[in-house]
Amino acid sequence: MPSRPALMSTEVALSRLTLHALQVRHVGPVDLDIAPGECVCLSGASGAGKSLLLRAVADLEPHAGGAELDGERCADMRPSTWRQRVGLLPAESAWWCERVGAHFDHPRPEWFEALGFEPAVGDWEIARLSTGERQRLALLRLLCNGPRALLLDEPTASLDPAAVGRVEALLDEYRRERDCPILWVTHDPAQTERVADRRMQIHEGRVREA
Amino acid sequence: MRIQQLSTLDLSIAALLVIALAVLSLVLRLGIERRLLLAAARTAIQLTLIGLVLKALFAHVALVWVALMAFVMLAAAGREATARQRLRFAGAWGYGLGTLSMFISSFSVTVFALIAIIAHHPWYEPQYAIPLLGMMLGNTMNGVALGLDRLTLSAREQRTAIEARLMLGHEARIAVRGFSREAMRVGLVPIMNAMAAAGLISLPGMMTGQILAGAAPVEAVKYQILIMFMIAAGTGFATLAAVSLGSRRLFDDRQRLRLDRLKDTG
C-alpha cells in the first residue's frame, strides 16, 4: 500500500500546540508540546509568570522563541488569525459594549444554558453583572469565537462550587468535541486532579513536569 | 483713520493692572504671583522681539527668510503641543507625531489660502503669510494636543478592553477605533465652539485687531471668516492625522498594545 506522508503529517499535527524556547522577560525558555485534546495544568506561586507566559503564547507580549498550532508558526500568521485560533481567557474579563449580546457574533444558546444563563442574558447590562457572571460570560464569549486551542488563566477563580462544575463540564465537552489542546492555569490542586492530563509547574522562570 | 500710537507709559499703566493682580495673589496666598509676573514679562519680551523680527522680515521680502521663520514657529508649536500631553509617546515620536501632523496640515492649508484665495504677489509676502501661519499653528497645536492626550489616556485606561478584543482576534485598528474617533472629536470641539460663538459671544482677536488698527469692519469680518475656515480645516486635518498616526503607534507590527511606548509626565 502506498504511503501517504502528506496526509499523515497533517493528521498528526492537527490542533497540536507547541512552544519552542519561548521566552518572555524572566520566564523561559519554555519548550512545551500539548497534544490534540490534551489538558495541561500549570501551577506556580503568584508572580511566577503564569499569566505572562499565556499572554506571550497569545502573542500579546514581545517574546523570543515561537509557538506553533497545527504546524503553522505564529510568526507566519496574521496576529489576529493566531489569536482567534489560540484563544486566551484572561483572569479578569473586560468588555467594550454596554450590553452582553453585543459582544457575541455567534452565540450558542445551549452553552449559555449549560452555564446557567437564561436566553435573555443578551440584553443584560455589563455594569450590573457580578464577578462570577462576568467570568462565565467571558468564557462563553471565547468559546463562541471557536478557538482551536485554549489558554485559560484561572477560569473558575471567582465561581461557587456548582458553577465550577458546570464550567469544567463545558470545557471538557469542547475539548473532546474538537480535540482542542488546553493550557490551564489553576491554583486549585483538586481542580488539577479533576481536569489535567499532565501537570506542569512554573518556578523561577522554568516550567517543569510536576 | 489713523491708529492711536501707544507710548511706553501707556503700556506701563496696563502693566500696573497685572502687578495689582499679583499683589492680590500675594494677599490671598494663591501662590501664583511669581508665575504671573514671569508670564507677563515673557509676553512683553517675546512680543517685542517678534515685532523686531517681523519689521526686518517685512523690509526684506525673501522666501528663504519667511520659510525659516515658519519653521521656527512650527518647532515652537510642536514643543508646546508635546508639553501639553500628560501621557505622551516616548522618544522622538512624542515630538515628531504632533509636529509632523501640524506641518502637513498647517503649511498646506496656509499655502493654499495664500496662493488660491489671497493671491497677493509674491504669495509668500510675510505681512500675510506669517500672521496666517501663526494663527493656524496656535489653534492646530490645541487640537493635536487635545486629541493625542485623549487617545493615550483612554488607551491606558481601557487597556484591558482593547486587549480583550485583540484576544478574540479583532484587528488592532478595530479594537482601538472607538477611542480614536472619540479623540478626534475631542480635538475638534474647541474650533467648532469658537466658530459657533464667533461674533455673538466673542469678537475674534484678529478681527478686533484689524478694527482697532482702523480697517473697515466689513473687510475685517471677511478676513476673520477666512481665518476661521482655515483654522477649522487646518486643525481638523492635523488632529485626524495625529490621532490616526498615534493609534497605529500604540501597536507594534504584531498588533500588540504597547503602552510601554508611552511616557507619563504627571
Question: In this structure, are B17 and B92 located in the same domain?
Answer: no
Based on the domain organization, do B199 and B232 belong to the same domain? yes
* Cβ-nearest to B169 among A61, A84, A95: A84
d(CA A136, CA A139): 5
Angle of the B172-197 helix axis to the B126-157 helix axis, nearest 10: 130
pLDDT score of B157: 95
Does B79 share its domain with B14? no
CB contact under 8 A, A85 and B169: yes
Closest CA to B231 of B213, B206, B212: B206
For residue A97, report the phi and psi dihedrals to the nearest 5 degrees. -115, 170
Helix extents (H) in chain B:
8-27, 33-59, 63-83, 92-102, 108-112, 126-157, 159-167, 172-197, 205-212, 217-249
Mean pLDDT for back-to-back runs of 10 residues, chain B (266 residues): 79 94 93 92 93 91 93 94 92 93 94 92 91 91 95 96 96 96 96 88 82 89 90 94 96 96 87
Looking at the fold, whether B87 and B32 belong to one and the same domain comes out as no
Cβ pair A59:B254 closer than 8 A: yes
A172's CB contacts (< 8 A; 6+ apart) are A195
CA atoms within 13 A of residue B103's CA, in its CB half-sphere = 14
Residues of A in contact with B167 (CB under 8 A): 58, 60, 83, 87-90, 142
Which pLDDT score is estimated for A93?
Answer: 93
Q: Residue B161 and residue B156: Cα distance in Å, rounded?
A: 10
pLDDT the model gives residue B265: 84
Closest residue in B to A140 (Cα) is B168
Q: Do B254 and B205 reside in the same domain of the chain? A: yes
A79 to B254: CB separation less than 8 angstroms, yes or no: yes
Return the residue matching grid coordinates 506669517: B130
Last residue of a domain, one of B59, B88, B105: B59
Q: Which residues of chain A have pLDDT under 50?
A: 1-13
Cβ distance B166 to A83 less than 8 Å, yes or no, reads yes
- Looking at residue A182, which CATH number applies to its domain? 3.40.50.300
Query: Final residue of a domain: which of B22, B40, B59?
Result: B59
Q: Is the pTM for the entire model greater than 0.95?
A: no
CB-CB neighbors (< 8 A) of A63 in chain B = none
Are B100 and B15 members of one domain? no
Please answer yes or no on whether B163 and A141 come within 8 Å at the CB atom. Answer: no
Q: Give the H or E element holding residue A206.
A: strand A206-209
Q: Are residues B45 and B146 in the same domain?
A: no
Number of structural domains found in chain B: 2
User: The domain containing residue B47 runs over which residues?
Assistant: 1-59
What is the count of structural domains for chain A? 1
Q: How many CB atoms lie within 10 A of CB A94?
A: 17
pLDDT attached to residue A153: 96
The residue range of the domain holding A181 is 5-209
Same domain for B26 and B65? no
* Same domain membership, residue B258 and residue B225: yes
Cis before residue B122, ω within 30 degrees of 0?
Answer: yes
pLDDT given at position B2? 62
Q: Which residue of B has its CA nearest to A147?
A: B168
Contact B171 A60 (CB under 8 A): no
pLDDT recorded at residue B6: 86
| Chain B residues near residue A85 by CB distance under 8 angstroms | 169
Q: Are B186 and A115 in contact (CB under 8 A)?
A: no
ipTM of the complex: 0.91
Shortest CA distance to A154 belongs to which of A202, A207, A91, A86?
A: A91
- pLDDT value of position B266: 67
